[in-house]
């Protein structure tokens, strides 16, 4: 309750709850729903009638006191009120006309005012807020500023294409891994030719 008190209510199956404009049953309520009940009590004055019907055989009559033998054999005394209607053989009669041995049917109708009280309960409420859905963070997008080169991971250097070799063109010979160990040099000086051998270590 709003005061902090905890109370238990036995809710009938027919009770409806107006939650956020929708009619729900007690089984559709969710924990955390706020409820507000408006109870309207109506008192209506009514007139009730109590009808008592008796039948039996007259055993004794004294003024408005009548002793009647009931169908079960019991003798019972009645005080005939002014609002009591009696019939003998289907004909209306009064207590003064009753004689011993007559089969009488008596009907008494009593009217009395009463107050009929009715209650109408209307319950409205608000459902608890729904939890916000979880959202995944968006991936970071690299932004480029005009006039500046793109980030390093965005730069790509195209590989230099291999030189085209025309079909039938001789390829250059491979360069030896090292120079020859020696070579013969001829020198001409003063009309004479000298030969010397230049030897280089490997």
Q: What is the pLDDT of residues 94-119, one digit of tens each?
A: 888 888 999 998 887 778 898 989 98
- The set of long-range contacts for 92-96, using a CB threshold of 8 Å and a minimum separation of 24, is 95/61, 95/63, 95/64, 95/66
d(CA 46, CA 118): 12
Find how far residue 115's CA is from the centre of its chain.
Answer: 42
- Quote the pLDDT of residue 184: 45
Percent of the chain having pLDDT more than 90? 19
Q: What is the mean pLDDT of the chain?
A: 76
- Quote the pLDDT of residue 17: 92
Res 85 pLDDT > 70: yes
Res 57 pLDDT > 80: yes
- Quote the pLDDT of residue 69: 92
Confidence of residue 47 (pLDDT cuts 50, 70, 90): confident
- From the list 19, 1, 27, the residue with the least C-alpha distance to 125 is 19
Q: Which residue has the higher pLDDT, 134 or 66?
A: 66
Q: Which residue has the higher pLDDT, 85 or 56?
A: 56
d(CA 95, CA 77): 13
- Quote the pLDDT of residue 141: 60
What's the pLDDT tens digit per position in 150-185? 555 545 555 555 555 445 545 545 544 554 444 444
DSSP track, 87-131: EETTEEE-GGG--TT-EEEEEEEEEEEEEEEEEEEEEEEEPPPPP
- From the list 148, 143, 146, 77, the residue with the least C-alpha distance to 106 is 77
DSSP track, 149-179: PPPGGG---PPPPPPP--TTPPPPPPPPSS-
Q: Are 104 and 55 in contact (CB under 8 A)?
A: yes
- Quote the pLDDT of residue 33: 92
Q: Are 77 and 67 in contact (CB under 8 A)?
A: yes
Res 191 pLDDT > 60: no
- Quote the pLDDT of residue 179: 45
State the pairing for strand pair 34-62/75-79.
unpaired
User: What is the average per-residue pLDDT within 60-81?
Assistant: 88
- Quote the pLDDT of residue 198: 52
What's the pLDDT tens digit per position in 18-38? 999 899 999 999 999 999 989
d(CA 171, CA 151): 42
User: 171 burial class (0-12, 13-18, 19+ CB within 10 angstroms)?
Assistant: exposed
């Amino acid at each position: 309750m709003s005061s902090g008190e905890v109370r238990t209510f036995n809710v009938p199956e027919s009770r409806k709850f107006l939650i956020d404009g929708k009619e729900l049953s007690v089984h559709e309520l969710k924990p955390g729903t706020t409820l507000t009940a408006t109870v309207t009590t109506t008192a209506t004055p009514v007139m009730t009638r109590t009808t008592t019907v008796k039948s039996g055989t007259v055993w004794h009559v004294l003024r408005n006191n009548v002793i009647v033998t009931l169908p079960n054999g019991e003798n019972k005394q009645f005080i005939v009120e002014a609002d009591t209607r009696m019939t003998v053989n289907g004909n209306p009669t009064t207590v003064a006309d009753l004689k011993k041995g007559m089969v009488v049917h008596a009907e008494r109708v009593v009217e009395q005012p009463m107050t009929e009280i009715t209650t109408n309960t209307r319950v409205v409420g608000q459902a608890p807020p729904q939890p916000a859905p979880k959202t995944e963070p968006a991936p970071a997008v690299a932004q480029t500023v005009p006039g500046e080169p793109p980030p390093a991971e965005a730069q790509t250097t195209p590989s230099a294409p291999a030189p085209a070799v025309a079909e039938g063109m001789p390829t250059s010979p491979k360069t030896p891994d090292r120079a020859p160990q020696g070579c013969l040099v001829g020198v001409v000086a003063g009309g004479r030719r000298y030969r010397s051998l230049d030897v280089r270590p490997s």
